[in-house]
Structure 1
Amino acid sequence: MSLKEPPETPDRLIALVPAAGVGSRALRAHDAPIPKQYRLLAGQAMLRRTVQALLAEVRIDEVRVSVAPEDDQAAEVLEGLPRVVCVPCGGETRAQTVYNALCDAQLAAQDWVLVHDAARPGLPVEALSRLIDACIPNGVGGLLALPVPDTVKRARTSATMPSGIAAVETTVTRERLWLAQTPQMFRAGLLRSALARSLVNAEKAEQPPTDEAQAMEAAGYAPLLVPGSGRNSKITWPDDFEWVESWL
C-alpha cells in the first residue's frame, strides 16, 4: 500500500519568523534580561524549537528568521539547521518586521508566505499541514485559530484599581469568536500590499495591525479560520515556559 502524497504546491512556500522583539512580559523581576526567543526550553533555545517545528513540513522551501540589526545570537542558535536564513531586518513593530522580511525575500507575488510567531514552539506538523492544504486552493489564505471556549468578560477602565485587577463592564458572547494563532498564510504579493497600506495608516496615528490577518482584513479580504491546536499556544507569561516544557 503506497502512502498518500501531499497536495502539490504550485508556487514557492516560504516561512517568515519575526524575532526582533524581547518579550518583556515573559520576564519575572529576578530573570536575566534575555529576549524570550533565546530562553531555553528543555535544553534548546525557544527560537530553534520554533524553526524546527516549521522544518517538519517538507513543502516549506525556506525559513527566514527576521531579527533586530544588532542581534548577535540568532545565527549561533540556528546553526546547523537546513533551509534556514537569518536576516537582520527587524523593525519597531511586528508589521514593520514582517514587511521588511517580505521585501528582503524578493518573492514573486504568487508565492506563499507563512508568518509564524517565534514564541509558538509547540506547533504540531498536523496543524501546519492542515493550514497549507486549506489555503492553497483558496487563493488568498488564512490562519490557524481556535474557537473561544470560555466565557469572555470586558473590563471597565479604572485608574484606581490595583495593578492586574479589573472590574467587569459586561459579558461578551463567545459565539463566532476565535483565538488567532500562527502560522498565518497568504500570497506574498497580497500580504506585502496589505502591510504597506497598514504602515502608511500607522504613520497617520492609526494603530498598526497586531497580526497579518488584520492587515488583510483591512484590505478587504476574508482569511480562512483553520482549526489549530492547543499545543500551538503562544508563550507570553513567565509560567508559560514551565507549561510548555512539561510536554515537549
Structure 2
Amino acid sequence: MAPRHTRLYAALNVHPSMSSADMDRAFQTLETRLTPNEHTSSDTAVQESYAILSNPRKRKTYDLLGKDGSFSSQEIASFEWPRRSSLPQARQDHQRELVARLFTLLDHRCCAELNDSSSGIVSFDDPDKPAWGVWTHGQGYDAVDATPTHETDKYETSPSRYIVVAVAFFRIAVYSPLAVLAYRLVSRALSCLFVFTLWFMIRGVVVASTLVYFCFIRAQPVLADHQHIDNHEEIAWQTQFERRIASRG
C-alpha cells in the first residue's frame, strides 16, 4: 500500500518507494547546499524530514498516520466505506492481536476445564513456531496464524480424573446439609465428652484429697493418743512386775 502522506518525501526530493540508503544519499546531497548559520525554513524542513524518514519506525508511522500521527477528516469520513483497508494498519494490528489473545485464552481455559490431560498454563512465546506472529515497532503486526491451532501450545500435566472426581465428591460432602449436621453433632458430642471428663477429673481430685486428709493429717493425733496410752500401760505393768519381785525377795 502506497503512503498517503508525501510532503516529507517531497522536502528531500525523493520518491516514497526509495530505500533508506537512497534517502541518505539524497540528504547528503541537500546537506551540501544548506546554510547552517541562517536556518531558513527550507533547511529546517529538510532536517525534520530526514530525522523522521531515516528512522524506520517513524517512517512507517508517518506513512500510515501522517506527521502528527492523527486521522484526517477524509479518513474519518471514509471509515465505513469500502476504503476501510486504508485505515492505519498499526491500530488494526493492535486490535487483531488483542482479539487473538483473548480468544486463545478462552480456548485454553475450555481445554483445561474439559480435558483432564491439560491445564490452563500455556506458553505464548515459542521461538520456533510463534503462535501470534511478530510485532515489530514501526512495521506493524505480521500475523502468522490468527486462528490458534494448538500446535505450539505447551501444556502441563494435570492430576488424573480419579483425583478430580474424589475432590468433587469431597466438596459435595463438605458443603452438603448432612455434612453440616454431622459436624454439629460430632462437635456437641466432643464438647459433652470434654465436660464429663473434666467433671470426673475434678471429682477424682476431690476424693483423693479427702482420703489424704483423713488418712495422714487427721489420723496423727489419734495415733499419738494410742501410743501415749500404750506407754502408760507398759510403765504400769513394769512397776507391778518389779513390786512382785521385791516382795518375793
Same-fold call, TM > 0.5?
Answer: no
Which structure has more helix as a fraction of its residues?
Answer: 2
Greater strand share, 1 or 2?
1
Q: Specify the structure having the higher radius of gyration (Cα).
A: 2
